[in-house]
Amino acid sequence: MLFNSVEFLLFLPLVFTLYWFAFSRSLHWQNVLMLVASYFFYGWWSWKFMVLLAISTLLDFLYGFGVASTNRKKARFFLWLSVVNNLGILAVFKYYNFFAIQFQQGLALLGLHPHVVLLKVAIPIGISFYTFHGMSYVFDIYREKQKPVRNFIDYAVFVSFFPLLVAGPIERASHLLPQIRKRRFFNYQQAADGCRLILWGLFKKVVIADSLAIIVDKIFTHYHDQHAISLLAGAIAFSFQIYGDFSGYTDIALGTAKLFGFELLTNFRFPYFSRDIAEFWRRWHISLSSWFRDYLYIPLGGSKQGKLKAVRNTFIIFLVSGFWHGASWKYIVWGGIHACGFLPLLLLNRNRRYPSDVVARESSLPSVKELSQMMITFAFVTFAWVFFRAADMKEAIGYVTCSVTNFKQPKDWLLCLSVCCYVIPLIACDWWLRRDERSLRVPQRIKPIVYIVLALLVFFFFGKQTNFIYFQF
């Protein structure tokens, strides 16, 4: 079920009404309702995927008790069992065909031509997200940051909570489970903030991202025939398409959770206002970046065992992060590009210059230095996005090549203007909101006008239901 669908617009009020009016007196039955609603939401695509989700949830729930053992040898055994189980699910459904094809091509170079059996099965939606939920739960128990949950319903809600199930944010058990196990009461202000976030998220998805998607598809499909300026516009358009699409989903997820009394982790903090690549990754897909930091980078030694190992660990997490997005060389190269951009900052000890600052906190406009830093960072990120968006490495290289050689093709200024019409308003809105972490609270006198305009725009652009980009991951 898509957030930007008529079905969801019917589903959400129904669950909300039952949750607060029929089951509000019992925490247990509220959680049961949330679990049923989450599985219905997920099973809307396929009941087979729902079975896989249930099996994965049950196994990690059971592993948690073994990992909590005072016998460290036994605890490590169940920890690795969970890791093998979760990565095994990913390997079979998401990565098997990729490795099988690479193996076949490698042997072909040696003159061998084995027959490789490929799996003809769709990748379960959200598989990378809920497997990471399960692993973080088990890891935290092993590190004594979390005690095993004895109520299976509570744990199952943590893994399958429908606002975040298919595209995050990747929640931590220590953050979400206490909210699931605690009695919740309706809070008008929290619900109002949730509605504002949902509306803003729908605007970014339906009005901005889906409109830019049409332009991006046209340019990337026929990149050979496009002028270099149009190709540049196409790359910029995709940068804002994926931002509007993914951050729009996150806003809807956070807003929906607020309607039910939950606070999810922040996943975006205006990433295109970053002044270097390190800051970008503290602002973009924060839950994934912090997951890899806490469960991969730090266990590998982080940056405390010398520069050489720090460089190694940096490349590992960026390459793995790229591969997490999909079984394709283009994602690995995308991760490698970001690793190369991060590396100079690491070597010069400048990767923590802007840990939590708001750009131009005390002024309405950025300084010349800040503006140049943001533009350079955005240019680097946009270049990397070309590899992320292209169908394969051949198309990505061809797109980049044509971007610096296709100056004899006719210019399509109308197309470039169309990109600006969607990008500039989004930049302006984000700049206005950058200090208050997306509260979306506007002056009382213009509040109704702003919300009505946003709602009308969403209604006007509401047409074909398109998947969120991160559903495929």
Tell me the DSSP string of 403-452. HTT--SSPP-HHHHHHHHHHHHHHHHHHHHHTTTTT-----TTTHHHHHH
Q: Say yes or no to pLDDT of 438 above 60.
A: no
Neighbouring residues of 394: CB distance < 8 A, sequence distance ≥ 6: none
Angle between helices 228-259 and 210-221 (to 10 degrees): 150
Local confidence band at 198 (pLDDT 50, 70, 90 cut-offs): very high
Q: Say yes or no to pLDDT of 279 above 90.
A: yes
As a whole number of angstroms, the distance between CA 190 and CA 254 comes to 11
> Whole-prediction pTM value?
0.91
Angle between helices 72-90 and 127-142 (to 10 degrees): 170
- Rounded to 5 degrees, φ, ψ at 355 are -65, -35
Q: Nearest Cα to 285, choosing from 161, 418, 170, 436?
A: 170
Assign 264 to helix, strand or coil.
coil
**What is the per-residue pLDDT across 245-278, written as a single tens digit (0 to 9) for each?**
999 999 999 999 999 999 998 899 999 999 999 9
User: How high does pLDDT run on average in the chain?
Assistant: 89
**What is the per-residue pLDDT across 22-40, written as a single tens digit (0 to 9) for each?**
888 899 999 999 999 999 9
Q: Nearest Cα to 248, choosing from 16, 450, 471?
A: 471
Query: Mean per-residue pLDDT for 176-191?
Result: 92
- Integer angstrom CA distances of residue 206 from 198, 269, 466: 12, 20, 9
Cis, peptide link before residue 355, omega less than 30° from 0: no
Local confidence band at 454 (pLDDT 50, 70, 90 cut-offs): confident
**What is the per-residue pLDDT across 235-247, written as a single tens digit (0 to 9) for each?**
999 999 999 999 9
As a whole number of angstroms, the distance between CA 254 and CA 264 comes to 6
Distance, C-alpha 46 to centroid of its chain:
22
- Rounded to 5 degrees, φ, ψ at 69 are -60, 145
Predicted pLDDT at 451: 85
**What is the per-residue pLDDT across 337-381, written as a single tens digit (0 to 9) for each?**
999 999 999 998 888 888 777 888 888 889 999 999 999 999 999
Q: Nearest Cα to 209, choosing from 417, 469, 471, 472?
A: 469
**What is the per-residue pLDDT across 103-152, written as a single tens digit (0 to 9) for each?**
777 777 777 777 777 767 777 888 888 899 999 999 999 998 889 999 99
Q: How many beta carbons lie within 10 A of that of residue 460, not counting itself?
A: 10
Which of 10-19, 119-128, 326-335 is predicted with the least confidence, judged by mean pLDDT?
Answer: 119-128
* Active-site amino acid positions: 325
